[in-house]
Structure 1
Amino acid sequence: MTVKQLRAFLAVAHSLSFAQACERLHLSQPALSLAIKTLEDNLGGPLLVRTTRSVALTPEGETLLPVARRLLADWDNAEELMRQHFTLQLGKVAIAAMPSFAANLLPVALKAFRDRYPRINVAVHDVINEQVLEMLRNRRVELGIAFEPETLDGLDFMPFYNDRFVAVLPVDSRLVAHEEIRWGQLLSEPFITLQRPSAVRLLLEDKVAELHGRLPVALESHQLVTVGRMVAQGLGVSAVPSLCERQMIELGARCVALSEPIIERRVGLLCLAGHQLSSAAQALADTVLALSRGG
């Protein structure tokens, strides 16, 4: 059965008139008759009884009628649904983002996206850097935002910017007055950081060790918010990507530039290499990239 054949049958069955069905479908009578005959041949018997004066359904035609209605309704609904998805009137997209981005710049991008596409549902997974990559590779999300991986291994990376780490200090710290401090000065205080396997923690340990040895961790947490609150309460100091600077200030801490060494790493958008994004995911990717690059 084809959609065209079912539409022809349904038009005749509703009006019980070939002439009216031709007018409704904008078909010639020979074309309508051929569609009905081909359908009957495919199914194995007559669906309509046609005389010079009337048209009636056979018992098999009566059986097919409600089925044809459902099939065509489903087809029309599917066409409309896909049209709405491709025109971004409906849709759903899942994105995974490391906490430093998810809590700071991502909401700004989502606001711009929702203003333009209010009926697109966005599922945000706020997870550590390593889980962003894992969720992408397992196809649990279409988009990811994270530090640039050491090896892409089947992923495409579109950079936003280089994010430089800054010191996070209590408001009454003697170091707050400085425009820039050295790592050696920062590490003279109790150090608070994220727990392993956080990419932030591993990056700090790797870069700081070259000049200052092992990172002297006094307190650690899984959440940046908790780290910020600990610092604000005077329990110690920390270092976070500059992306988190506003968040740290809102939590009651202060931020100062760090040097010796300067630690920075590229942040960007990730997706599976060679994977065709859905229309909704592509629109969200374009929005995030434009805003993150100052567009």
Structure 2
Amino acid sequence: MGLSLARLRSFVAVADEGQFRRAAERLGLSQPALSAQIRELEAYLGVALFSRTTRNVRLSAAGELFLARIRKVLADLDGAVLELRDQACLRSGLVSVAATPSLASRLLPGVLLAFGSRHPGVRVRVFELDARVILSSLAAGEADLALAPRPPRTAVEIGFEPLARDPFVGLVAAGHPLAGRGEASLAELVRHPVVTTVEETSIRETLARACLEAGLALEVAHALTQHHTIVELVALDLGVAILPTLSLPDRLERVTPLRISGPPVEREVGLLRRRGEAVSAAAAAFAAIVRESAGALAARRLPGQADAPAAGAEAGS
């Protein structure tokens, strides 16, 4: 015996109806079964909850006190059940999404629009973070999902679902000797001072790894955090840049993009989540729309080069 939910609801029904017959009809129970539940509850509590007469039943003083508390408990329980059902049916809820800047700008606006149209009752909270911070945000439970490059193998607690590859391209000033070529090798680009992102960003790490594998020295002239600042320095011929396609603005002025010949310099981007944990219905629905939208990025071409091959599809910064 114990404080089962059925016994508690039976107690409230008898208190409301003032007799066992109507309470039994309300609950869909036989009158003997209902009477047995009340006796078991009283035995467990060690007090009489009702004063019984031949015509009706009245709450005892202990029953009055117990009823006030139990009504609140049952109301809280019913509210919690309704809230979870609403979330499961995507009538309410919250999903927190972290994204690197290039993915946030290229992919998230369309995803947010589509998600809001399909699930207007669910709130979405977006954090624009660099790739390293995204990993700690996921691990700490601050974000349900993330859009970012593939994490390092040491991040064993983070699961990665690949969505696309994002090829790197060279950027040179309009008057640079390489500007009229349309493409250049990585070796040709890094012979010049390089303007790139700061250390511990996925862009810098991908570039450094590509140079190491090719046996090339990487001379960094300027290390910055903002992509548009990198482009501006390249426009002034203060160096060349090697950036992911999706980090480039839609319009490039005073700079020329170059496809990189030879072994590809690229990074894989996708959906990140905590490994081994079930995501909420809202997060699963958001991820589904991300997958639907990711393919559209694959058709993006290099700014100013209509004949450029399709870019990978997603990025992060």
Of the three residues 227, 239, 264, the one matched with 1:224 is 227
Cα RMSD (Å) of the superposition? 2.8
Q: Secondary structure at the match of 1:103?
A: helix
Cα distance in 1 for partners of 2:147, 2:176 equals 33
Query: Which residue does the alignment assign to 2:206?
Result: 203
Cα distance in 2 for partners of 1:58, 1:287 equals 57
Map Cα deviations across residues 143-187 of structure 1 (whole Å, 9 max, x no partner): 232222342624332211221001235567675554323345544
Tell me, yes or no, if the aligned pair for 2:187 and 2:216 is still in contact at 8 Å.
no
Query: Which residue does the alignment assign to 2:148?
Result: 146
Query: Which residue does the alignment assign to 1:51?
Result: 53
Cα offset, 1:51, TM superposition: 0.5
Query: Which residue does the alignment assign to 2:129?
Result: 127
Tell me, yes or no, if the aligned pair for 1:184 and 1:212 is still in contact at 8 Å.
no
Q: Secondary structure at the match of 2:171?
A: strand
Alignment of 1:156 with 2:195, yes or no, is no
Query: Which residue does the alignment assign to 2:287?
Result: 285
Query: Which residue does the alignment assign to 1:165?
Result: 168
Structure 1 residues 61 and 148, CA, compared in 2 at 3 Å: closer, same or farther? same
Cα distance in 2 for partners of 1:253, 1:110 equals 32
Bigger mean CA deviation after superposition, 68-77 or 127-136: 127-136
**What is the identity, as a one-letter code, of the residue corresponding to 2:207?**
L
Cα distance in 2 for partners of 1:238, 1:31 equals 80
Q: Secondary structure at the match of 2:29?
A: coil
Cα distance in 1 for partners of 2:129, 2:90 equals 27
Bigger mean CA deviation after superposition, 169-178 or 110-119: 169-178
Identity %: 35
Map Cα deviations across residues 98-128 of structure 1 (whole Å, 9 max, x no partner): 2221221122222222221222222222222
- Give matches, 1:225-244, under 5 Å: 225-231=228-234, 236-244=239-247
Query: Which residue does the alignment assign to 1:21?
Result: 23
Query: Which residue does the alignment assign to 2:301?
Result: none
Structure 1 residues 177 and 121, CA, compared in 2 at 3 Å: closer, same or farther? farther
Structure 2: runs of 5+ lacking an equivalent = 298-317
Q: Secondary structure at the match of 1:20?
A: helix
With the length of structure 2 as denominator, give the TM-score of the two structures.
Answer: 0.81
Cα offset, 1:199, TM superposition: 1.5
Tell me, yes or no, if the aligned pair for 1:93 and 1:120 is still in contact at 8 Å.
yes
Query: Which residue does the alignment assign to 1:100?
Result: 102
Cα distance in 2 for partners of 1:119, 1:269 equals 23
Tell me, yes or no, if the aligned pair for 2:182 and 2:257 is still in contact at 8 Å.
no
Structure 1 residues 16 and 263, CA, compared in 2 at 3 Å: closer, same or farther? same
